[in-house]
Amino acid sequence: MYKLTYSPASPYVRKVRLAGYLCGLNDQIELLNPGHEIHIKMKSNNPLGKIPVLMTPNNQYVFDSRVIIELLNDVSGKLYPSDNNKKIVLTNAALAEGLIDASLLYVYSIRYAGDQKPSEVWQNFQLTKIENTLDYLDKNVLNNFDPSNLFISHIGLIVALDYLNFRKICDWKIKTKNLDSWHKKVSDSLPGYQETFPKDPS
């Protein structure tokens, strides 16, 4: 049995969970909430203090989400294509990861500002990256993220788009009709989509 440090709001945890669903390993992954004793021990094994951390059945600790997903792919072989298209999928996955990163940095600029006003320069910097990426994706999503073959790049992008909505960073659906259509198709076919939808911890 695998054990995974868990937060229902974390886009990185959701990426791993959706990867587990897609490769048929979800029922072998136990989710550990922050108050769980093993969760605390596992998180301490990542000196960065970040989640997710995965504990394998032989008690090895693996982080971050990209490495955990690589491990799940080693077990299942379903998250990346096995041909020359793998580098394309990895590049697209990196683009989706960058969209998640920029979204989180925007959220953190507010969350950790303390009594100070968040830096507008920093926020606009992140928003520009987000808007440029969304514009690029709207023009290229149907070619680069074929909805008929689901890989880790699709998971990353669906997580990124849902996180933008979840944290109300921007209403991307207004300006990106192709991306909106893609999102509807993939969310209907991606295993575990509803079960992993982000929410704040109760």
Give the pLDDT confidence score for residue 166 in this predicted structure: 97
Whether the pLDDT of residue 67 is over 80: the answer is yes
Residue 127 belongs to a domain: yes
Residue 81 belongs to a domain: no
For the chain, percent of residues with pLDDT exceeding 70: 99
Whether the pLDDT of residue 181 is over 90: the answer is yes
Do 8 and 102 fall within a single domain?
no
The mean pLDDT of 94-99, rounded to a whole number, is: 97
Residue 200 belongs to a domain: no
Q: How many structural domains compose the chain?
A: 2
Beta strands (DSSP E) in 28-185 are 29-32, 54-55, 61-62
Confidence of residue 82 (pLDDT cuts 50, 70, 90): confident
Distance CA 6, CA 30 (A): 9
173: containing domain? 86-189
63: left (phi over 0), alpha (psi -120 to 50) or beta: beta
**Domain CATH code at residue 41:** 3.40.30.10
Neighbours of 184 (CB within 10 A): 12
Confidence of residue 10 (pLDDT cuts 50, 70, 90): very high
Residue 129 belongs to a domain: yes
Give the pLDDT confidence score for residue 35 in this predicted structure: 72
Q: Note the pLDDT tens digit of each residue in 114-149.
A: 889 999 999 999 999 999 999 999 999 988 999 989
Residues with Cβ < 8 Å from 73, sequence gap 6 or more? Answer: 19, 23, 79, 80, 152
- Quote the tokens at residue 38: 């093993």
Do 160 and 103 fall within a single domain?
yes
Of the two residues 33 and 4, the one the predictor is more confident about is 4
Give the pLDDT confidence score for residue 25 in this predicted structure: 95
Do 140 and 95 fall within a single domain?
yes
Residue 105 belongs to a domain: yes
Q: Which residue among 18, 50, 76 closes a domain?
A: 76
Confidence of residue 159 (pLDDT cuts 50, 70, 90): very high
Q: Which residue among 28, 51, 76 closes a domain?
A: 76
Whether the pLDDT of residue 85 is over 80: the answer is yes
Distance CA 61, CA 107 (A): 28
Q: What is the DSSP string of 90-108?
A: HHHHHHHHHHHHHHHHHHH
Do 108 and 58 fall within a single domain?
no
Do 63 and 8 fall within a single domain?
yes
Residue 197 belongs to a domain: no
Give the CA count within 13 Å in the CB-facing half-sphere of 188: 8
Give the pLDDT confidence score for residue 46 in this predicted structure: 81
The mean pLDDT of 36-59, rounded to a whole number, is: 82
Q: Which residue among 76, 110, 134 closes a domain?
A: 76
Residue 194 belongs to a domain: no
Rounded mean pLDDT of the chain? Answer: 93
**Domain CATH code at residue 126:** 1.20.1050.10
Q: Is the peptide bond preceding residue 52 cis, with omega within 30 degrees of 0? A: yes
